[in-house]
Each structure stands twice: as structure tokens, then as C-alpha cells.
Structure 1
Amino acid sequence: MSKPEDFKVIVIGGGPVGLTAAQILTKAAIDFAVVERRESVHPDEGAGIAIGPTTYRLLDQLNLLPQFDEIATPINTKNVMTRDGQLYNSYEFHMREYHGRPIAFAHRHDILRTLYITLPAEAQARIKTSKRVTSITTTADGVTVTCDDGSIETGSIVIGADGVHSKTHSMMAAMTGQEAPVFPSEFQGLFGNGPREKLPVETAPSDNWEAHSPGLSSQVFTGYSQEDVKQFVEEIKDLHVTSKLTIGDVFPHVNKAGLTLLQEGVVKSRSHERIVLVGDAASKITPNLGLGYNSGVLDMIVLVNHLRSTLLAKSTEERGEIREEDIANVFKAYEDDRRELTTKVTAAAQGVVRNHTWLSWFRKVFDRHLTPAMGLETWYGKSIMGPQLGKQQVLDWVEEKNLVEGKIPWTYRPSQVDLGEVDVKA
């Protein structure tokens, strides 16, 4: 048991979702620590990350819209072509029209840096690097996280935000006597980033280009050896990434690159005792829809909404204490809220990547001919995915000062009184 004022969250993983967790917990005035295995909070690695309408709503609540406007490029047009660069579909993105906010892309490094430097100094001090977790121990009173350097973090709950190869998830599974979970992977991804101005042909910063072909697709926006990367690039160097540029044209200008397996799937359970999973540790979404980071953001929004509500309720009781059953109820409410949409989004992404890579003759015909002829991308966004995105939550206790809506209204709206500075530790 612990009192609300003593409640502390330990976040394992200081990636985009982990630092977003730090931002939200800071806003909620909930004590926390973040342990990150890398030496830097914002290493210059990784590829572009999509920022969707719900994430933009959170950024508004966190007063981070101006900072993200500086690093993110809204995507207005999508162009789809064959491997040899023949354009067969082009259309305007529907996000801003349907949801009032665009979908935009930013470099992973820029997102991490922005999330970190906009934290107050006392919150930055709670983010600790070069910390490889070796054990997690839970008791009736709390949780202890031990790192390989001998350091220990004690708290009330652990949030595993450490990605698809989540050590938190493996340790959680071991506590229940299960095998370490492994998401299946039928695809691998080549990723990299580089300066657009160095490309041999100018590309518009608001365009998204994709190539679809049998077993292979590409997207360009503004765990393997480098030899593996070079070999794979040589095999696909003729794959177009815009109508004029191929992988062979673009790759010499990439700063950092890598190959990674693209796992897919949803965990059976997101929590055990005092441990809960968010982001890729809970559900791995293939990147073609650009919803991975946004799904992790939504995980944190829903989880903290329930957690903060419980802490505030307990703080008003004369002998209010946070018991194990209170934490179990928070985790159950979080899992119940996220189950349906996570399952649908993961399944949608699985279908999209298979359509883009033409894994059957029907998928090729559907993607190459039926989709552009019938405008199915626009229909899908308006009638299927759009209503699902419209049901996504925001922080229900923070004012959204720049609330905008499109043709699909938001189901959830926060209080118009900013309660973000109410200290549950008071």
C-alpha cells in the first residue's frame, strides 16, 4: 500500500513513447523516473515518425504545438507507383479534412530532443541514461527495478515502454511462468534518413511517395550489420522511392541506416501485478499506416487518465491509500479501453502491408487497379479508419486550447479548465 502523495511511476524505455510518458506525468504532477539503456536521450538514429491528429491534440494540451510545428512536415499528397516508377495513384491526404489536424512526419531524433528539452529541469533530472534493467521485483507495497550498474529505482508501478523487444515484457512473462513473448515477423524494413537538399532531384517536402511491388514496398518522407544493409540495398537499388529517384540514388545520401524485422501482433495481457505495457511493447504495428508512435501515445493518455483519477479520488479520503486492487482496477480499465481499437488498427496495418507488397494476385489487383479506380483510399479513411480515429481519447483533465475538428467529430473532449497543475501529492 502507498499513499497518493508517495505514488511513483518507473518508466522503462526513454524512446518517443517513454519521453511522451515523462511529459504527461509531469503535467499530471505524478512522480516518476525514466530509465533508458542508451547513453543519449536523443541519439541521432532511426527513421521518420508519423504524428497523427490525436497526437497533435495531446501536443496542444502539453503546450508543444509551436515546437513540433518547427520539426514536423505535414503530408498533403500521397503518390503510389510500381517498382519501376510508374505512377498509378495520387490523392490528397484526408486527415486534416476529416479530423482538423494533418498527419505529419518528423525525424525520430528531433522528436526525442524536443520532448526532452521542453521538460522542466527537475523532470529532466528524472531521466537516467545508460541504465540496462536486469530485474524487476514486485511486492504488495511497491516495485523495485535493478540496473546492471547496481543502481536501483523503487516506485509504485512500472510502465514498460521499451519497444518490441521489451525486456519488461519478458520479465513480466517470466513472473507468470511463460515463455518470453515473440511477435511474428514476415517482413523486414530498411530505414534511414538524410538531408533532402542533397538528393539528385528536388522533391516537395509535403509529398509522400510509395512504391508497391511483389514482396517489396517503399515509403519516403522528408539489428543488422552494415554489410547486411549494403547487400540488401544492392538487391533493391532499382526500387523507386519517387517517380524519378531509386533506392540507389537516395541511399548514398543517408546519414544512418539499418535493417529491422517488422514484427506484428498484440500481447495477450498488457499487465501483471504492478507492471503494465505501452506502445510497441504491447502492440506492434507495421509502419505502412504510420500509427505506431500514435498508438503508444494513446496508450499513455488512457493509462494516465485512469491513474490520475484514482490518485485524486484516494487523496480526498481521510485515510486514502493506493492498494493492489486499485492498481489492478486502473490496469484493467486501461486494457479494456485500448483492446478494441488496438486490435482493429493492428489488423488494418497487417492488411495494408500485404496489399502494398502484392502478396497474392488479388492483393495486386486490389491495390494496383481497384483502389485508384474506385477511390478506395479516400473511402477507407472516411468510412472505416476515420470514425475509429475520431473515438480516440485525450487527457480528460487538461484544456485543449486550440481544439479543431473536421468532418468527423471527436467523441472525447477535455475539460475546458486546465487542471494540469493540481498536485496529487498535496
Structure 2
Amino acid sequence: MTATPLPEATSVVIVGAGPAGLTAAIVLAEAGVDHVLIDRLSEGANTSRAAVVHARTLEVLDELGIAKDLVARGIQVPTFKVHDGPKTLATIEFGDLPTAYPYTLMIPQDVTEQVLLDRLHQLGGTVHRPLTVERVDDENGRVTVGYTTADATTGTITADYVIGADGMHSVVRAQAGIGFTGDTYPASFVLADVRMSWPTPRSEVSLHLSPEGVTVVAPLPDAAQERYRVVATVDEAPEHPTRDDIQTLLDARGPAGEVRVDEVLWSSRFRVHHRVADHYRAGRVLLAGDAAHVHSPAGGQGMNTGIQDAALLARLLAKVVAGGPDALLDEYETVRRPIALDVVAFTDRMTRMATLQSAPARTARNTALRLLTGIPAVRSKLAYQLAELANR
């Protein structure tokens, strides 16, 4: 929580201090744009949640002086493999990608947010907490944000523009009257960080297909090299999966060889939506991150897409605040919304492919995967798409 007084007016109000909101604040601070970043939570994320940072996001964060610190605190994983039981169906390598970051970086979201926050503090910025946004009024060439503090005190702040980076249930999006078109997957997802013995090398993210559902296991930074992220589809997941829950799941779906789950460090369940905002802009209100798009965790692209949103949006806002034409902001939706639609479509195909249950459909899928990924050009294209380098 910050004790810094909240001003009555500013150039840009950013609602939501997750990765997208923090990125926007950093870009604006570097450009010397007056802004206010607010969040409804009393402190930042203290769980790992999103744990994948892709090559394109690292390129964007390198421009902000952040990538080096992230890489130092994460684990570089250059290989992605798809398995069905003991069979390896596909191997995707990132090592030959045309980037300074030819790998997937595994790093817990709370660490990513701390690195972003540290950079914001270096630039003189801060997060105002906890403030709950109640209304957003865009009228007379300004936007008024009405909020409530932890002690139920109400207040307002006016701005030239507002960025809604306040997540899937965005108040900013709702207040702007922007639709959020899409649907929800029927299965629930288990998300857990565990300490365990795992037979697959820590240079690999493993996707395991099975009739029971899909399971992804990826290494997380850990001196003892025993910490892993587990993501799995389950028809009805428990609210907080236990060690026994994860052990049973991996015994049924994991690779050949001994898997022993020793400890669950954190776990959760969630329902996955695939939705994209009908527009990214309504007048002086703009959306970024999960407020603009949500989708399956297949490929680990959600947080990455949001950070890239925020970086472009904040750069455009900086140009407009410096005297550029307001119409520059139309470029944001033109560029970023098609990318979100592509990500949603790509992750939806991955999810539906991975969760096939009938034996004939699974056999056909496995045959197609082996044949297609046996072609070098197909493997390279998949690596390029997963790394989000097409977003350049």
C-alpha cells in the first residue's frame, strides 16, 4: 500500500497494476507522461499464476531495461514436447529462432511483477492501493474516474485518457459499454506449483495427452531443481488441489518412470474463457491485457499478449499527450485486436486438439501431429508462433 497522495487530475489513469498495467506505467514514466496507476488489491500478486515469458515479450521488455533481470531470475527452456503415454508425438525447438531470446523463460508471475515494479520505482512511479473503481465517465473531453478507498472514502480523479488493465471482469470495460464476446470451456483447470521428482529434463516443457485430459508440466526456477508448474484439465477440479490430487493426476497421465510429488507449494482451479473485447477503444477509454482478451492457457500466451498490448498503447499515448493527433490511438486496436483474435483461435485449436477423447479422433490427431511436425518448416512455424515473434 502506498501513502502517496492521489492527485485530482493527471494525463493518464491506469486501472490495474498487473503485468499489463505496470508495463504501461513504465513506458509512460520513461516518456515523462504524468500518470496515476491504481489497483484494488492492497498488495501485488504473491502467487506464481502466469509463469511463461516468450521471446517477443522479452524483446519488448529489453527496450524497457527489464529483460536482463527477468532472465537472471528465470529458467531458460528451449524445448517443447508433446507426448501421448510413452510416445513422443512432436518436438519443437526454440534454439534457432531469430531472436536474442531463443527459448521460453519460465518465471513465476509474482517475480515478473516485482521486477516490473522495481523498474517503475526506479523511474519515480508508484502504485496507489487499495482503490476500487466504481465509475468511469467520459465526457466534455476528459474522463472522470470515481473510486472508493479501503476505509470507504470516495473520491474522483480526472484524466485525458484511461487505460483499463483491470482483468477479465474489468469495471473499466463495463463502464465503457464495450462487449466481451466469446464463451467458456466446459472443463475446469488445475493449476499448481509443486516440488517433485520428474523424469523429463528441465530443459523441456512437456504436454501430455490422455483420454482423461491434457496435462502440461514445466520447470520453475529452483536451486534444488525440484519445482514444477502443473496445468491440467479436470472435469470438476477441487478448489485447492492437494498433493494426492496432483499425484493421482500425474500417475494417470504422466510419462513412464517414477513421478513422486513431495509438496504442493500453491494450487488453484479456474474456468477458462475465450473472449475478445468488441473494441479496444471507446472515446478516451482504452483496454489492455485480460480486460481486452482472455483465452486458454495452452501456449502460455495470455500475460505475454497483455504486456505487448500495454507497451504499444502507452507509446501511442505518449505521442498523443506530447501533441500528436488523437487519431494515432486508432492504430492500437488496428494492430493489437487482430493479434488477440489470432491468439484466441490458435489456443482454442490447441485446447480442442489436446482434449479429444474418442479413440479414432485421438489416433488421427496423433498421426497428423507426427507427420506434420516431421516437416522442418512446420516445426519452425510452430516455434515462431508460440514465441509470438509474428507479433513484431
Give the TM interval when normalised to the shorter protein: 0.7 to 0.9
Q: Is the 8 A contact 2:10 2:36 kept in 1?
A: no
Normalised by the size of structure 2, how large is the TM-score? 0.81
Are the aligned partners of 1:210 and 1:241 in contact in 2 as well (CA < 8 Å)? no
Q: CA deviation at 1:378?
A: 5.5
* Percent identity over paired residues: 19
What corresponds to 1:240 in structure 2? Answer: 253
State the Cα deviation string for residues 183-230 of structure 1 (Å, max 9, x = none): 411142211224xxx4134653321111112362111112xx995334
From 171, 180, 189, the counterpart of 1:167: 171
**Residue 11 of structure 1 aligns with which residue?**
14
Give, as a single letter, the amino acid of the residue that structure 2 aligns with 1:257: S
- How does 1:401-412 map onto structure 2 within 5 Å? none
Residue 132 in structure 1 maps to residue 132 in structure 2: yes
1:371–1:377 Cα contact (<8 Å) kept: no
In structure 2, the CA distance between the partners of 1:245 and 1:7, relative to structure 1 (3 Å rule), is: farther
**Partner residue, 2:384:** 386
Choose the corresponding residue for 2:269, options 243, 249, 259: 259
1:208 to 202, 205, 210: 205
Deviation of 1:111 (Å): 0.4
* Structure-2 separation of matches of 1:230 and 1:383: 36
Paired with 1:167 and 1:364, the residues of 2 have a C-alpha distance of 41
CA offset digits 1:101-137 (Å, max 9, x no partner): 2221210111011111122356343x11222211112
- Residue 119 (str. 1) matches residue 116 (str. 2): no
Contact preservation (8 Å) 1:48, 1:221: no
- 1:128 match: secondary structure: coil
Offset, 1:336: 1.0
User: How do 1:181-192 and structure 2 match up within 5 A?
Assistant: 181=180, 183-186=182-185, 187-192=187-192
**For residues 89 and 334 of structure 1, do their structure 2 counterparts lie closer, same or farther at Cα, with a shift above 3 Å needed?**
same
Pair 69,384 (structure 1): closer, same or farther in 2 beyond 3 Å: closer
Gaps of 5+ in 2: 1-8, 220-235
Distance verdict in 2 for CA 1:108–1:389, change over 3 Å = closer
Residue segments in structure 1 that go unaligned for 5+ positions in a row: 1-5, 315-325, 394-426
Partner of residue 287, structure 2: 277
Deviates more, 1:276-285 or 1:95-104: 95-104
Paired amino acid for 1:184: D
CA distance in 2, matches of 1:98, 1:219: 26
Contact persistence 2:14–2:35 (CA under 8 A): yes
Counterpart for residue 329 of structure 2: 331
Cα distance 1:275–1:215, how it changes in 2: closer, same or farther (>3 A)? farther
- C-alpha contact (below 8 Å) 2:82/2:88 kept by paired residues: yes
Within-5 A mapping of 1:85-100 = 85-94=85-94, 96-100=96-100
Partner residue of 2:25?
22
Q: Which residue does 1:152 correspond to in 2?
A: 156
Q: Which residue of 2 aligns with 1:342?
A: 340
In the alignment, what sits opposite 1:401? none
Looking at structure 2, the residues matched to 24 and 377 of structure 1 have their Cα atoms a distance apart, in angstroms, of 40
1:166-194 superposed Cα distances (whole Å, 9 cap, x missing partner): 22212222xx7xxx746411142211224
1:369-416 CA-partner distances (Å, limit 9, x unpaired): 2212331686445347737944424xxxxxxxxxxxxxxxxxxxxxxx
Q: Which residue of 2 aligns with 1:35?
A: 38
- Confirm whether residue 53 of structure 1 aligns to residue 64 of structure 2: no
TM-score scaled by length of structure 1: 0.75
Residue 93 (structure 1) shift: 2.0
CA distance in 2, matches of 1:265, 1:376: 33
Q: Structure 1 residues 122 and 370, CA, compared in 2 at 3 Å: closer, same or farther?
A: closer
Distance in 2 (CA, whole Å) between partners of 1:28 and 1:135 is 28
Higher-strand-fraction structure: 2
Indicate the larger mover: 28-37 or 233-242.
233-242
The letter for the 1-side match of 2:147 is C
User: CA separation in 2, counterparts of 1:71 and 1:214?
Assistant: 36
Instruction: Pick from 240, 248, 253 the counterpart of residue 229 of structure 1.
Output: 240
Q: Residue 322 of structure 2: SS of its match in structure 1?
A: helix
Match of 2:314 among 304, 310, 314: 304
Aligned partner letter, 1:240: R
Q: Evaluate the alpha carbon distance shift between residue 242 and residue 377 of structure 1 in structure 2; reply closer, same or farther with a 3 A threshold.
A: farther
Aligned residue for 1:346, secondary structure, equals helix
Letter in 2 for 1:279: G
Query: Residues 148 and 362 (structure 1 numbering): CA distance in 2 closer, same or farther, change over 3 Å?
Result: farther
Structure 1 pair 241–63 and aligned structure 2 pair: CA distance change class (3 A): farther
Partners of 1:374 and 1:277 in 2: CA distance: 37
1:355 to 340, 347, 353: 353
Q: Tell me the C-alpha RMSD between the 2 structures.
A: 3.0
Kindly tell me the number of residue pairs found equivalent between the two proteins.
359
- Cα distance, 1:313–1:77 mapped onto 2, change above 3 Å: same
